Structure 1
Amino acid sequence: MLRLHELKLPLDHAPEALRQAVLDRLGVAEAELLDIHVFRRGYDARKKHAILLIYTLDVTLRDAAPVLARFARDPHVGPTPDTKYRFVGRAAPGDARRPLVIGAGPCGLLAGLVLAQMGFRPIILERGKEVRARTKDTWGLWRRSELNPESNVQFGEGGAGTFSDGKLYSQIKDPQHHGRKVLEEFVRAGAPEEILFLSKPHIGTFRLVQMVEHMRAEIEQLGGEYRFSSRVTDFLVETAADGARQIRGVALADGSTIESDHVVLAIGHSARDTFEALLQSGVYMEAKPFSVGFRIEHPQRMVNECRFGPSAGNKLLGAADYKLVHHGSDNRSVYSFCMCPGGTVVAATSEPGRVVTNGMSQYQRAERNANAAIVVGIEPERDYPGHVLAGVDFQRRLEEAAFVAGGGDYRAPAQTVGDFLAGRPSTSLGAVEPSYKPGVTPTDLAAFMPPFVIAAIREALPAFDRQIKGFARPDAVMTGVETRTSSPVRIRRGADGQSLNTRGLFPAGEGAGYAGGILSAGVDGIKMAEAVARSMLGLPEAVKAAA
């Protein structure tokens, strides 16, 4: 079997055109071509009136050897790589040692699943509730302004990614094909098979709920154990005479303890109290950059027409997305983040008296608005110097100010782009209706956001308008604040995946600063499961040190 890259065909090509294009590209006779499998399908929409589909194909020929020899110097033709996932090892029968996984988001879920598949019977601790109960609590904030600090968009089974667009693509390098393992497990759990070949796959919230339940059932069937409403409050660390530190377990909010010498820390980017507990336990961590800004909403139809022209509405293209970056005059980058086509802006706080926004889409992406965060990159040395958790303090100040500006009842402050660029408060909104629930309060976003953030976004919006006409339309609406773009800390780990100064602790995923999104978090969870297995089985290290 060989893999053929970059085969381009018109958007409206006939089904039989794909086979003919392969025959022509490889120069083989009809009888030589036995099968075609679509490994990847994307599109090139740079020319709106001539959008192309771009295929990566696995082709089965009667005799592939002479064709591969003929295309030996062609980077777009080669042998199909082996993407089969292989476990690093398996637990010995009757092994009583059980690793802990803290957090049941994408990272913890994949770490727990792979550990269970290797026979290690992990115990998964989740501070929030199981996914359906958690969904009811989340709706309580959106519909009744009632926040449950332990069960919300940030905390609970499935993690923050459950209430998102469910994007399943990433820019991480993945030579071991861990990403393929994540996608295949998602398909086994009920995701549509198209996520295996679309270049920008997504699932949406409702499907993620069902998938999380299916994966939990498999973990439990394999001997794993879930403990919900189990918030970790302390890390039990033993220090030897030579100063070496070893994790021995964790303490929970109910006063109980669980012993373990191997703990995967998959806590997510909003577990601020857990960051404090880690710091008090002496676990090494450092402040890291993140970004802050607002959610912006436009009519999805406008984005579709701008991106796809006369092909807007084509089912193969779906709802259009965008990715924008502007490098400002003050050496700050402004960029779109977590773009949600046909979605809604959601209340995503996890702490009382604070307002946080995020974006969410269902699988159909059928809502009237497109939304994305427009955020400004900030850095510890420049913007929040001081102690390790100064970034958390920075986030909280903005979230508290947004709560007050919104009216003190979890409504969010909002402003039209026209008013924002003109430097005047909004007293009413225009044709673009904000989707945020429990509602918005028109105001002046510049009144509580740092001036450098406001200046950078004001500079960026006209630049973005030159790329997507209408992006800076006066009635587009911005809602604040977006602060949870990534973790404000990095919990450093070494080449073996373990904390730099605490053996047996494996920092993982978004909360530890090693992932950004569902797919990369799942990949990191698998890597840390492998690191735990190597440690427990006495195998050589294979995890590269992360920066």
Structure 2
Amino acid sequence: MLRLTDLKLPLDHDDAALPAAIIARLGIHADELTGFTVAKRSYDARRRGAIVLIYSVDVETPREADILQRLELDPEAAAAGEQGDGAAASGSGKVGASPDTSYRFVARARDAMPLRPLVIGTGPCGLFAALVLAQMGFRPIVLERGKAVRERTVDTFGLWRKKVLNPESNVQFGEGGAGTFSDGKLYSQISDKRHHGRKVLTEFVAAGAPDEILYVSKPHIGTFRLVSMVEHMRATIESLGGEIRFSSRVDDLLIDTDADGVRHIRGVTLAGGGEIRSDHVVMALGHSARDTFAMLHTRGVFLEAKPFSIGFRIEHPQSLVDAARFGPQAGHPLLGAADYKLVHHARNGRSVYSFCMCPGGTVVAAASEPGRVVTNGMSQYSRNERNANAAIVVGITPEDFQPYAPEGGPLAGIALQRHWESNAFALGGGEYEAPGQLVGDLLAGRASSAFGSVVPSYTPGVRLGDLSGALPEYAITAIREALPAFDRQLRGFAMHDALLTGVETRTSSPLRITRHADGQSLNTRGLFPAGEGAGYAGGILSAGVDGIKAAESVAMAMVAAGHARAA
């Protein structure tokens, strides 16, 4: 097939416009267009009131060979029309051969294996590692410290509604991982030359996601749909011979050192004392598995501190964001609730940026340890809640961790997180309410005493006051400078009544479990660190992709060990 990209049409074009544009661009007759599918649909909203849709389509035509030969002889024709007026350039677009995005397994397991691979964690990374291993016939055993997703949901609501935290079953821990209670965003900026992201999206559709995630530019699912999808994926893994064990926290590793001084994983020890033997273990930890990080450090697995970000959640009326981004076309069904992405480089050298923006969503309590407050954002598929929210965060580096862990080391970032999360718990009154402040009051340097037009969505509740002591001074200074700058990019962003809620500390893992190019730990053979907790992903899609890569690395290692045959 042919791939036609950058095909621009007005927002309200009729059904005949897209095939007409394809025919015009390719220079073929209507009866020579056998069929087409939309590979991607995005929009360009830089001109409010003149928003255009941008399509990439895969086209079937008996003229394919002729067209490709013509383009080979005249390469400039492949990009013809690219500079046309977006609102009317129905004939614009670039042409080439459609890429092959099909997934191919790297190996197949033998009928019998002396030991099965282990996967630790059932977030997106762990689920996809387990799924692909199961599809290749390796029958993985999956260990999850938390509960199955519906039981976990009950426990999570226990914090949100009753101020009761279960440290083993919450927004961070349990089937589906932290991504289950999120906006369900399925896009990423990772390099993906092997189209693993397509494999992730295809499996999600098979698990019940809407087909549109295969082609819209910023696909999302939402929490309620993710719950049933996670259950479907679990059933698929089990049907292929995999096994998933809940409430099975890994408390230790079994490690041998050979005559050459090389360390090898030999299995794990569970919290209840039982052992599971395995020579191949995928560590698909989330970014909040602090006790497991400490265990890995004690066991001598190579870890290193890495940068991450801290800040607040900010809430605005979704209608304000829609109007600022889309102007008179706000509310159009193809556009949905508007999002934003903002960056500011402050005078003190800090970068401030929006993160994990949740249109039409809610701010959620995301603590996983008693006596600490953590915020995150979540949306349902409909994105129809009153408020928009996003994290406004400041980048920090390992040099910033030293005041909280003078001894240094790879766990120093966790010490910083715990300090500010405990501080937020105290500022919020000690019952998992979060500290908050109106944007206008933060900028004016005064405490807030009453909510304005923005009603907080965070439960168990928000206690207003002064957030100037809720983060390091350099972070507050940078955020105060960034908010007016963001207002110049998105009108109304620094409105007085916009609400800040603290604190956001779990933007990414504070450390990296560093690995070789073959996916194995730098100093422990057979241990495959992967996903967000290991410092190699940031979000559902990239974590799923990294899980696939981990599964492939395990499969190839088992091939090398004689446990499998080449596909």
Q: TM-score, normalised by structure 1?
A: 0.98
Give CA-to-partner distance per residue, 1:173-196, whole Å, 9 cap, x none: 101110000000000000000000
1:524 aligns with 2:542: no
Which residue number in structure 1 is paired with residue 463 of structure 2?
441
Which residue number in structure 1 is paired with residue 565 of structure 2?
none
**Which residue of 321, 340, 344 maps to 2:358?**
340
Give CA-to-partner distance per residue, 1:207-253, whole Å, 9 cap, x none: 00000000000100110001100011111110123210000001111
Cα distance, 1:97 vs structure 2? 2.2
**Which residue of 313, 328, 339 maps to 2:331?**
313
Corresponding letter in the other structure for 2:112: G
Which residue number in structure 2 is paired with residue 263 of structure 1?
281
Which residue number in structure 2 is paired with residue 23 of structure 1?
23
**Which residue of 145, 158, 179 maps to 2:176?**
158
Corresponding letter in the other structure for 2:19: R
Cα distance, 1:539 vs structure 2? 8.6
**Which residue of 310, 332, 340 maps to 1:292?**
310
Which residue number in structure 2 is paired with residue 418 of structure 1?
440
Which residue number in structure 1 is paired with residue 85 of structure 2?
none
Which residue number in structure 2 is paired with residue 486 of structure 1?
508
Which residue number in structure 1 is paired with residue 394 of structure 2?
376
1:70 aligns with 2:70: yes
Gaps spanning 5+ residues in structure 1: where?
Answer: 541-547
**Which residue of 127, 137, 140 maps to 1:119?**
137
Gaps spanning 5+ residues in structure 2: where?
Answer: 80-93, 563-567
Give CA-to-partner distance per residue, 1:283-337, whole Å, 9 cap, x none: 0010000000000000000100110111111110000000000011122110000
1:137 aligns with 2:159: no
Alpha-carbon RMSD across the aligned residues, in angstroms, is 1.0
2:554 & 2:292 partners in 1: Cα distance? 21
Give CA-to-partner distance per residue, 1:4-61, whole Å, 9 cap, x none: 0100000000110101111111111112111111000000000011100000000011
Which residue number in structure 2 is paired with residue 454 of structure 1?
476
SS for the counterpart of 2:390 is strand
**Which residue of 65, 89, 106 maps to 2:124?**
106
Corresponding letter in the other structure for 1:277: M
1:88 aligns with 2:106: yes
Corresponding letter in the other structure for 1:51: I
Corresponding letter in the other structure for 1:353: G
1:284 & 1:383 partners in 2: Cα distance? 19
2:255 & 2:2 partners in 1: Cα distance? 52
SS for the counterpart of 1:246 is strand
2:469 & 2:158 partners in 1: Cα distance? 29
Q: How many residues align?
A: 540
Which residue number in structure 2 is paired with residue 477 of structure 1?
499
Cα distance, 1:383 vs structure 2? 4.2
Cα distance, 1:382 vs structure 2? 4.0
Q: Would you say the 8 A contact 2:470–2:502 is kept in 1?
A: no
1:54 aligns with 2:54: yes
Q: Would you say the 8 A contact 2:401–2:412 is kept in 1?
A: no
Cα distance, 1:68 vs structure 2? 1.4
2:69 & 2:425 partners in 1: Cα distance? 65
SS for the counterpart of 2:394 is strand
Question: Larger deviation: 505-514 or 323-332?
Answer: 323-332
**Which residue of 397, 402, 405 maps to 2:427?**
405
SS for the counterpart of 1:15 is coil
1:64 & 1:84 partners in 2: Cα distance? 21
Which residue number in structure 1 is paired with residue 41 of structure 2?
41
**Structural mapping, 1:171-190, within 5 Å:** 171-190=189-208
SS for the counterpart of 2:446 is coil
Question: Larger deviation: 186-195 or 18-27?
Answer: 18-27
Corresponding letter in the other structure for 1:21: A
1:424 & 1:71 partners in 2: Cα distance? 64
1:183 & 1:63 partners in 2: Cα distance? 31
Corresponding letter in the other structure for 1:188: A
1:383 & 1:140 partners in 2: Cα distance? 33
Give CA-to-partner distance per residue, 1:128-170, whole Å, 9 cap, x none: 0000000000000000000000000000000000000000000
Which residue number in structure 1 is paired with residue 2 of structure 2?
2
**Which residue of 431, 453, 461 maps to 2:453?**
431
1:352 aligns with 2:374: no
Cα distance, 1:429 vs structure 2? 1.5
**Which residue of 379, 399, 403 maps to 1:361?**
379
Corresponding letter in the other structure for 1:483: T
2:309 & 2:147 partners in 1: Cα distance? 29
1:424 & 1:487 partners in 2: Cα distance? 33
1:402 & 1:281 partners in 2: Cα distance? 32
1:322 aligns with 2:345: no
Q: Would you say the 8 A contact 2:360–2:379 is kept in 1?
A: yes
1:502 aligns with 2:520: no
Corresponding letter in the other structure for 1:43: Y
Which residue number in structure 2 is paired with residue 543 of structure 1?
none
SS for the counterpart of 1:235 is strand
SS for the counterpart of 1:475 is coil
Corresponding letter in the other structure for 1:381: E
Q: Percent identity?
A: 69
Cα distance, 1:93 vs structure 2? 1.2
Corresponding letter in the other structure for 1:63: R
SS for the counterpart of 2:126 is helix
SS for the counterpart of 2:199 is helix
1:466 & 1:291 partners in 2: Cα distance? 23
Cα distance, 1:381 vs structure 2? 2.1
2:188 & 2:147 partners in 1: Cα distance? 28
1:2 & 1:17 partners in 2: Cα distance? 19
Cα distance, 1:428 vs structure 2? 1.5
SS for the counterpart of 2:34 is strand
Corresponding letter in the other structure for 2:55: Y
